[in-house]
Chain A
Amino acid sequence: AQSVAQPEDQVNVAEGNPLTVKCTYSVSGNPYLFWYVQYPNRGLQFLLKYITGDNLVKGSYGFEAEFNKSQTSFHLKKPSALVSDSALYFCAVRDPYGNKLVFGAGTILRVKS
């Protein structure tokens, strides 16, 4: 069965510093991978996705993610963190036999000024 793991419950970073939120995946076949963000009292919002092609995917709000097939990873990155990036981030993989997404447990990102 397909799954994703987010090994860090929380990531703390200073404003202006680069940030990385980690995700590893386990899928049969080609992986379709996603990142979503959840702000307090708001619904999840799509950030970016990897289907095929370039290993570096660019998304919303300056975020990007690097797909690494040999390490089965799909880490979320941003060159310079903002306090407003503080939120809960979810990695997800699409079920290749259907249309549902399987989400990781989430990582809390805290950016301090």
Chain B
Amino acid sequence: DTGVSQDPRHKITKRGQNVTFRCDPISEHNRLYWYRQTLGQGPEFLTYFQNEAQLEKSRLLSDRFSAERPKGSFSTLEIQRTEQGDSAMYLCASSKTGLVEKLFFGSGTQLSVL
């Protein structure tokens, strides 16, 4: 159990550019979640996968955001045409079915849009 890893730890980009983040969950976990956290707020749900299927997506998530989990292993979160309001910490978490409440979080990717 090496934990949930996220890459990169930090990303600075210019407004209008596309960015992609990667998450590697704990190997035996079949559920994977993406959350976003801004300063002074709790994590806000974005989307989640069970294996390779994306089962839920937040209504707050604009169509500039897309997530994939090919083969049910790692996941990527892409933001197209970034805006300054996208600046946040993007958190990934994973869990096993049957223990879905206990989420294991990665350390996050801090995105700064200039």
Residues of the A chain whose Cβ atoms lie less than 8 Å from the Cβ of B44: 103
Contacting pair B105 A43 (CB below 8 A): yes
Count, chain B residues at interface, CB 8 A: 24
Known: A100-B33, A100-B56. A43 touches B45 (CB 8 A): no
In the complex, what distance in Å separates the CA atom of A32 from the CA atom of B107?
25
Q: Size class of A's contact patch? A: 20 to 34
Of chain A, the residue at the smallest CB distance from B95 is A99
Interface residue B62 (Cβ < 8 Å from any Cβ of A): no
Interface residue B48 (Cβ < 8 Å from any Cβ of A): yes
In the complex, what distance in Å separates the CA atom of A36 from the CA atom of B91?
14
Known: A43-B108, A100-B56. A105 touches B40 (CB 8 A): yes
Contacting pair A99 B42 (CB below 8 A): no
Give the total number of A-B pairs whose CB atoms are below 8 A apart. 57
Contacting pair B43 A44 (CB below 8 A): yes
In the complex, what distance in Å separates the CA atom of A104 from the CA atom of B41?
7
Contacting pair B56 A105 (CB below 8 A): no
In the complex, what distance in Å separates the CA atom of A34 from the CA atom of B48?
19
In the complex, what distance in Å separates the CA atom of A51 from the CA atom of B106?
25
Interface residue B31 (Cβ < 8 Å from any Cβ of A): yes
Q: Among the listed B42, B48, B108, which residue makes an inter-chain contact with A106, where contact means beta carbons less than 8 Å apart?
A: B42
* Residues in A lying within 8 Å of B, measured CB to CB: 32, 34, 36, 41-46, 49, 51, 90, 92, 94, 98-106
6 additional A-B residue pairs with CB within 8 Å, beyond A36-B105, A46-B103, A99-B48: A43-B93, A43-B106, A99-B55, A103-B42, A105-B40, A105-B41
